[in-house]
Amino acid sequence: MVKGHKIERLLWSIALPGFGQFLNKKYLKGVVLIALEVLINVQSDLNVSIQMSFQGNIAGAIETTDYEWLMFYPCVYMFGIWDAYRDADEKEQPLSFLPYVSAAFFATVGMIYSPYFLGPVWLSLLFCFVGVGIGLLLKKILLR
């Protein structure tokens, strides 16, 4: 598949988990991921938390968020992105999952500590980017 198609799938999955799967004609997977996104989003009050975080009301975001539901979000989100990217490729890329798995792990760890620093949106995002970097580094080291 053309490189641009892989990036398109990745970007649509970042916009909403499941959209990349629809582009890859994996409709059942797409529906399941969208349903999980909506369920977790509604149950955790994620949109309200995002809005409050962007407005600088970190204490309100922490108080509003249902962390028991939100803890599922990084794994579902990163799986959706990785799966759409992987399915768009005709050949298997070794260890292509590492940046995504690492990002999900670190974002979840960030979420655990987010009530004490920066709230559920900002600390999780920061840790997610750290996770991507560590995953890319691990992939590079292991493929040598």
Q: Do 79 and 9 form a contact (C-beta atoms < 8 A)? A: no
Does the pTM surpass 0.85? The reply is yes
Per-residue pLDDT of the chain in tens (144 residues, 90 and over written 9): 455 678 888 889 988 899 999 999 999 999 999 999 999 999 999 999 999 999 999 999 999 999 999 999 999 999 999 999 888 876 778 888 999 999 999 999 999 999 999 999 999 999 999 999 999 999 999 998
CA distances from residue 143 to 13, 27, 30, 135 in whole angstroms, order as listed: 26, 33, 31, 12
Using DSSP, state whether 72 is helix, strand or coil.
coil
Q: What angle do CA 75, 13, 70 make, to 5 degrees?
A: 35
Nearest CA to 119 out of 60, 66, 69 is that of 60
